[in-house]
Structure 1
Amino acid sequence: MRCRTTISCILFLTGARIDATTLRGLVIENELGGPPMANIEISAVAGANSWATQTNGAFKLEFPKKHPGDVVQIVVNKLGYVVVNEVQLRRPLPRDADSEPLTIVLCKAEVREEMARRFYRLKSFEAIEQTYEKRLAELKDGRKADAEALVRLSAERDQAKAAAEKAAEQLAKLRPELTSNLYAEATRLFLEGKVEEAIGVLDEEKLRRSLAVARELRAEAQKAIDEAIQGYLLKAQLLTTQFRFDEAEMTYQMACDAEPQNFEASFAYAKFSLDLNRYHNALEAYQRCLESARKTAEKANIAGALNGLGNLHYRQNRMGEAHKAYEEALAFRRQLAEQNPETYLHDVAITLNNLGNLNVDRSRLEEAGKAYEEALAIHRQLARQNSQAHLPYVAMTLNGIGIFHWRQNRMEEARKTYEEALATHRQLAEQNSWTYLPYVATTLNNLGVLHRDQRRFEEAYKVTEEALATYRQLAEQNPQTYLPYMATTLNNLGLLHQDQKRTGEAHKAHEEALAIRRRLAEQNPQTYLPDLAMTLSNLGILHKDQNRTGEARKAYEEALSIYEKFARQNPDRYNRDVARVKRLLRELFGAKKEARDR
């Protein structure tokens, strides 16, 4: 579809006049840091010259007899392109054009939502880092920067970034014409780095008044109610960038209270809660979403709520409930895709991939293979039409298929699949390292496991150590997200050292993994205790090989206690681990008896 970006007329004039006020700016393609775009027509609705951007993307608009502070509407024309940061086109004229330039980001219409998501994500991360540095300086100035305070501050930054990832998706979906002036003004201030001013614009009393007026005229004013809710959601997202999580949660709750059956408000709150591991709140919000969607018979919303519930159950190791939710979500998404494949086929593939991951964990490999195969076919088909949007999902599914082949001892198929996934992830990471470097590390780790099983130890060391170095780098910036992955890679490196009889190095790797996993399990036992049990059993084997029988027994018994607890909840997944550790204990006692007999 061919389209032309043209913004409607808005022009407010205030204050005394001067001869002319200048607005300078730059037009770039796709995202911040993208290449400049030349020969783009830039103008204003009224009162300014028209300008074609130079080879470096620069433009300059002159507003005769207008004053700094006057609000103007900038117009951008490029056939087939839209403005990513459209909300910034309505802006007050600056006092100093050189110090306050306007950056306009253009992209093709079909990738607008993805580019808008990247734009808001980057802006949110910038705000989060500024808040982090400010808080860190305050701690140091007040001589309160002890280890506990620094860990707490770092955790808050990680939580803010996780929530910002989801918030960027919501912000990207909204168009300025569907929001209130209050919302647009707050968004503009946020994008200019003025987060506290943006929060101030979204004054609670103003939002309450807007909501009260709208309720009085509900029959004619549903749009106003929706705008008030959007204001609450934006405020919650901005508060999150400032690590003010409790205030953000209260604001999300206000949005839900404003209209309890509003799906978007409950869904945003559910994802926020899931990202912060506030599972009880996430469960309530997802269930409210599902109830609301079922009442209105909105199949897309029903499927979205069910897929979210599946993710929540999976995170909490409730595999049966996760499977039921995913299957129902998939049924709805298949129905929708039959009617509108362009919109919903991607969602079908996402849920199929989730089912593949779940079925691999439950050792239902035949079902996993079917789900992965269909998901990959869909993602490849979509990537041929739009590689920028869908290639990451091809690589994600390939990684899952690699694990699937590995579990079935199809080592060459697994290697080939991992290597294709790795090449794709490296290509994506060159363009956007923050987003895709973790996927590079994950695939490297999986390749390391495969090479170890094939006794290709040199290759295994190479990729495992690269994965570990990458995760260490990522964990320094965001420990809450990446320490679990770092522990997994340390665990695998320890096993590799054991195979090569490098006892000291193996012990060091396992002990570091154990320390990380104990800390994680204290914070979230349902998710991380099974990982702790895995490391304990590996350490037990290492102690046994070194004739440290007492330490081996202690490690095995703690691991067995954990696995038995989880096997009562999920026997399909954990009974084999119970049997494995019991066998290790029998072997340990047999070795001990043999030593006594000698």
Structure 2
Amino acid sequence: MKKFLVIIAMAVWIPSVHTQNNILRGVVKLQSSGSQPLSGVKLSAFGAGSIFTNDNGMFEMAFQGKKPGSPVSVFIQKDGYELINEKELEHCVIRQDPDDLILVVMARQGERNKQALAYYDIIVEKTNNNYDKQLSNIHSRLDALDEDDKSRQALRQQIEALQKEKETLLNRAEELAKQLATVDLDQASSIARDAYDEFNNGNIKGALLVLSDEILDKNYKEAKEEQLKLKQKLKASQNALSQSIENFMIKARFCSSDRQYDKALENYLRAYEADSTNVKNLIEIGDFYDDLNRQEEAIRYYHQALQNTTSTPLEAGILLKLGHQFSYNNNYPEAEEAYMEAYRIAEILFGENEGYYGQLLADIGLALGRMHIELNNDANGEAYYLQSIGLFRKLATIDPAKHNPGLADVLVSMGDLYSRMKDFEKANQSLTEALEIFKGLEENENNFVQEKIASTHLASAIMMARSEAFEKADGSFAEAISILERLAEDNPFQYEPQLASAQMSSSVMCYYWGEYKRSEEGYKKTINTYKRLITENPRRYEPAMAKTLLNLGGLYSTLEQFNDSEQAYAESLSIRKRLAEEDPQRFDPPLCHVLLNIAFLKKRILYTNYDMTQIDQALEILQKVESILEPYDDNLPWVKRYSGDANQFKGYFVDVTLEDLMVQTEIDKLIPIENRIEMESDLNVIVSLYKQIIDTLQSIKKTFPDNNRLNLKLSESYGNMSIYQIYNQQFSIAEKSALRGLHYDPEETWINSYLALALAYQGKTKQAMKVYEKFLNDQYQGDALKTYFIEDLVALESEGIIHKANSKLKEILGIE
């Protein structure tokens, strides 16, 4: 469940958030020219097009689909010039920082070759001179030796070696000359420039003297010392910079605590401008946007944190946060992708260290469970919950104080799931255990634990309300509200939102309990609370206000206070329409919800007042629903649900006639008898009451002989009566009732289940089997008729009503 924090969204400037740099910037200069820039140089690249350098030799290229570290190929051209540092540009990549400039060095066409040739001549001349000098020396030594002197052989070998060395050097002379010609003296050291001066004068030894070991060692030592000083200065400046950035973050937190949310956001963004790679800060800014209900901004900052983190556990944590944001936006495919990637990472970490990463895996499992339940995949949701519970139980044996609260949180979610699934026994077990854990915590008097206890009471109250144990539910609601009221007295900022939510849930329960006055009072009280909260944070609390107004409108509709209902719905619609314009993906579903409720109100007004103008108004509303749903995937659960509701309403409003309304009015007069049937246990009395209903319907049919709604009601009544006649073992009479039901509406094929049983229990087994065979593979309103056949037969047997034909019936139905 999303935490409640009161944070107001203000209109402030938001800097552009680059999730990743795709800009390549650089400068083009003339080789060894005193850093003279070159303008008008053409640079071209796939994915970035072509651009020209400006008067300062600067260029900027934006690459589509690239990110830091991506290699790019850039083609560089200027008439009359050639590229010098090709090798460096062969390995050109997008920088993390776009202001980390690429240096491109060019020379006038032919200048490099000219320089290389000059260097080549120097190398060749020096090589030949050295060779000639050394060869002359060896020949002088040979001339001084006798012909039979053994030293002559060694000197001849020296000559051979000297010739090979000369050949090797001459072979390399061209390559060496080219390498020397590529050096940009503007970027070289003063020592290197002095050495080049000597070399250009043909004085290689002079060049080597300039680059003597002593000079180079001294230069290297001085450079290292300077580097150390710079590092120390850099470290000090980095610390100062980090502290100054942290000051912005600290001020943002203080401003948030003082409800200065616009200033808080301003300082968070100043910290971001100063350092857009600080993962901790990026996450905190994302969390702040989350509290503002601004999911898109939160997603951008979380994404940027994800790209900058080098911590695998933190990566999983950020993915978990991203999954939450996508879920809040109803973007379940991306939510599942984020959750599953986080889950994959957490499983690997868990395999390395169960004790340390078990909670991370359990938390992600809890999130996945909640997402699947939102998607109505209760089985998957339950599986993830059970896994999380297992992990927390194991962790709690090692450190109960740390992990029992997490266990209790999952148990509350599990209890709510079982409550939704109507498995109230399991729901009660989970919620009771959760409550015991929270109450057993040593610090159970602190506000955090008291809040958890209140939340558990609230979940229990909702469970009891679902099971229609309204008095018990009322007691649990009172417990939860009492705790939250006490907490809200000390800290309204934190606990009023939860109090309002609990009051609304209690009001919903009172509605279903028939306590309409209490329900209305509760809704109005909740609305007043949200009005106060909206003055501070409209973005966060307007959705809850819209929901409360929707519920109040539904209450007024039930009470036939149609004007009040229309007003409440209109206020709810106004809020949801505005929210959907700002964030359609998140708020289109609740917008459809309120529109469908208004359509239902139109139906009630139409029925009550016979006001036929409501039809066109309702159809216009349903057309709006269809236009909202049109862009979305039909397989999304909420789209399926609302599309089905809209089609059902549309069918009603297109087909309904004044006669239908008049017939329905008469049919509704039978509701008290139907309520008596629900409370009755005597089969003879139930059958007698159904006969009263049928007699009344037959009387109405004299006035409206061909009305389809009336025929449907007669069909249902005969069909329902037939099963009670079967339980009363009046099989032949049950057969006639079932046939009468099918006569009035053959589309009510579920009645064939009772017809087959009535036939079989009279010994008409073949006829019964023919009924089964005919309808076995058919469906009724999306459900397999075979399921009806099996359930009804098994139910009869459980009551001890068994016939010898049952074995054959079971065989054809596939029951073992």
TM category (shorter chain) comes to 0.5 to 0.7
State the Cα distance separating 1:324 from its structure 2 match. Answer: 2.9
Which residue of 2 is the match for residue 117 of structure 1?
A: none
Partner SS state of residue 309, structure 1: helix
Give 2:375's match in structure 1, choosing from 325, 345, 362. Answer: 362
Separation (CA, whole Å) in 2 of partners of 1:557 and 1:215: 71
Separation (CA, whole Å) in 2 of partners of 1:258 and 1:469: 47
Matches within 5 A, 1:41-52: none
Letter in 2 for 1:555: A
Larger radius of gyration: 2
Which residue of 2 is the match for residue 80 of structure 1?
A: none
Separation (CA, whole Å) in 2 of partners of 1:552 and 1:216: 76
Letter in 2 for 1:591: T
Alpha-carbon distance change, 582 to 356 in structure 1, aligned in 2, over 3 angstroms: farther
2:536 maps to 1:488: no
Unaligned runs of 5+ in 1: 1-153, 158-212
Please give the per-residue CA displacement for 1:207-241, whole angstroms capped at 9, x wherever unaligned.
xxxxxx99984599769847863674377347624
TM normalised by structure 1 equals: 0.56
Separation (CA, whole Å) in 1 of partners of 2:334 and 2:537: 19
Separation (CA, whole Å) in 2 of partners of 1:270 and 1:503: 42
State the Cα distance separating 1:358 from its structure 2 match. Answer: 2.4
Separation (CA, whole Å) in 1 of partners of 2:589 and 2:563: 29
Residues 549 and 592 in structure 1, CA contact (< 8 A), matched pair in contact too? no
2:407 maps to 1:407: no
2:561 maps to 1:548: yes
2:301 maps to 1:285: yes
Separation (CA, whole Å) in 1 of partners of 2:315 and 2:534: 33
Residues 556 and 584 in structure 1, CA contact (< 8 A), matched pair in contact too? no
Letter in 2 for 1:442: S
Separation (CA, whole Å) in 2 of partners of 1:499 and 1:259: 55
Residues 293 and 540 in structure 2, CA contact (< 8 A), matched pair in contact too? no
Please give the per-residue CA displacement for 1:168-214, whole angstroms capped at 9, x wherever unaligned.
xxxxxxxxxxxxxxxxxxxxxxxxxxxxxxxxxxxxxxxxxxxxx99
Partner SS state of residue 431, structure 1: coil
Give 2:284's match in structure 1, choosing from 240, 263, 268. Answer: 268
2:405 maps to 1:389: no
2:600 maps to 1:586: no
RMSD: 4.0
Residues 349 and 374 in structure 1, CA contact (< 8 A), matched pair in contact too? yes
Which residue of 1 is the match for residue 749 of structure 2?
A: none
Residues 468 and 489 in structure 1, CA contact (< 8 A), matched pair in contact too? yes
Please give the per-residue CA displacement for 1:398-442, whole angstroms capped at 9, x wherever unaligned.
011111111211111111111111121222375352111111111
Separation (CA, whole Å) in 2 of partners of 1:401 and 1:570: 25
Partner SS state of residue 441, structure 2: helix
Letter in 2 for 1:471: L
Alpha-carbon distance change, 501 to 382 in structure 1, aligned in 2, over 3 angstroms: same
Residues 350 and 357 in structure 2, CA contact (< 8 A), matched pair in contact too? yes
Separation (CA, whole Å) in 1 of partners of 2:482 and 2:356: 39
Separation (CA, whole Å) in 2 of partners of 1:239 and 1:582: 46
Alpha-carbon distance change, 493 to 249 in structure 1, aligned in 2, over 3 angstroms: closer
Q: Give aligned pairs, total.
A: 388
Residues 429 and 435 in structure 1, CA contact (< 8 A), matched pair in contact too? no
Partner SS state of residue 350, structure 1: helix
Residues 494 and 506 in structure 1, CA contact (< 8 A), matched pair in contact too? yes
State the Cα distance separating 1:326 from its structure 2 match. Answer: 1.9
State the Cα distance separating 1:341 from its structure 2 match. Answer: 2.1
Which residue of 2 is the match for residue 462 of structure 1?
A: 475
Residues 359 and 368 in structure 1, CA contact (< 8 A), matched pair in contact too? yes
With 243-252 and 584-593 compared, the bigger mean Cα shift is at 243-252
With 408-417 and 482-491 compared, the bigger mean Cα shift is at 482-491
Letter in 2 for 1:307: L
Alpha-carbon distance change, 282 to 397 in structure 1, aligned in 2, over 3 angstroms: same
State the Cα distance separating 1:489 from its structure 2 match. Answer: 1.5
Give 1:323's match in structure 2, choosing from 311, 336, 344. Answer: 336
Please give the per-residue CA displacement for 1:429-475, whole angstroms capped at 9, x wherever unaligned.
75352111111111111111111222222211111011112222223
Separation (CA, whole Å) in 2 of partners of 1:553 and 1:379: 48
State the Cα distance separating 1:284 from its structure 2 match. Answer: 3.5
State the Cα distance separating 1:247 from its structure 2 match. Answer: 6.1
Alpha-carbon distance change, 554 to 409 in structure 1, aligned in 2, over 3 angstroms: same
Alpha-carbon distance change, 493 to 314 in structure 1, aligned in 2, over 3 angstroms: same
State the Cα distance separating 1:478 from its structure 2 match. Answer: 3.3
Separation (CA, whole Å) in 2 of partners of 1:410 and 1:526: 36
Residues 372 and 381 in structure 2, CA contact (< 8 A), matched pair in contact too? yes
Alpha-carbon distance change, 571 to 458 in structure 1, aligned in 2, over 3 angstroms: same
Please give the per-residue CA displacement for 1:484-529, whole angstroms capped at 9, x wherever unaligned.
3222221222233334443332211011123334555676666545
State the Cα distance separating 1:333 from its structure 2 match. Answer: 1.5
Separation (CA, whole Å) in 2 of partners of 1:226 and 1:408: 56
Separation (CA, whole Å) in 2 of partners of 1:367 and 1:215: 59
Residues 549 and 569 in structure 2, CA contact (< 8 A), matched pair in contact too? yes
Please give the per-residue CA displacement for 1:86-132, whole angstroms capped at 9, x wherever unaligned.
xxxxxxxxxxxxxxxxxxxxxxxxxxxxxxxxxxxxxxxxxxxxxxx
Letter in 2 for 1:346: Q
Residues 514 and 536 in structure 1, CA contact (< 8 A), matched pair in contact too? yes
Which residue of 1 is the match for residue 491 of structure 2?
A: 478
Matches within 5 A, 1:385-534: 385-428=398-441, 430-517=443-530, 520=533, 528-534=541-547
Partner SS state of residue 380, structure 1: helix
Residues 300 and 333 in structure 1, CA contact (< 8 A), matched pair in contact too? yes
Unaligned runs of 5+ in 2: 9-225, 611-660, 667-816
State the Cα distance separating 1:372 from its structure 2 match. Answer: 0.9
Letter in 2 for 1:497: C
Residues 310 and 325 in structure 1, CA contact (< 8 A), matched pair in contact too? yes
Residues 361 and 573 in structure 1, CA contact (< 8 A), matched pair in contact too? no
Residues 415 and 426 in structure 2, CA contact (< 8 A), matched pair in contact too? yes
Residues 232 and 251 in structure 1, CA contact (< 8 A), matched pair in contact too? no
Separation (CA, whole Å) in 2 of partners of 1:579 and 1:343: 49
Alpha-carbon distance change, 559 to 307 in structure 1, aligned in 2, over 3 angstroms: same
Separation (CA, whole Å) in 2 of partners of 1:344 and 1:444: 30
Separation (CA, whole Å) in 1 of partners of 2:239 and 2:337: 32
Separation (CA, whole Å) in 2 of partners of 1:378 and 1:401: 14
Residues 365 and 388 in structure 2, CA contact (< 8 A), matched pair in contact too? yes
Partner SS state of residue 357, structure 2: helix
Letter in 2 for 1:586: K
Which residue of 2 is the match for residue 45 of structure 1?
A: none
Residues 237 and 248 in structure 1, CA contact (< 8 A), matched pair in contact too? no
Separation (CA, whole Å) in 2 of partners of 1:583 and 1:476: 40
Letter in 2 for 1:590: Y
Separation (CA, whole Å) in 2 of partners of 1:435 and 1:498: 31
Please give the per-residue CA displacement for 1:130-167, whole angstroms capped at 9, x wherever unaligned.
xxxxxxxxxxxxxxxxxxxxxxxx9689xxxxxxxxxx
Residues 530 and 545 in structure 2, CA contact (< 8 A), matched pair in contact too? yes
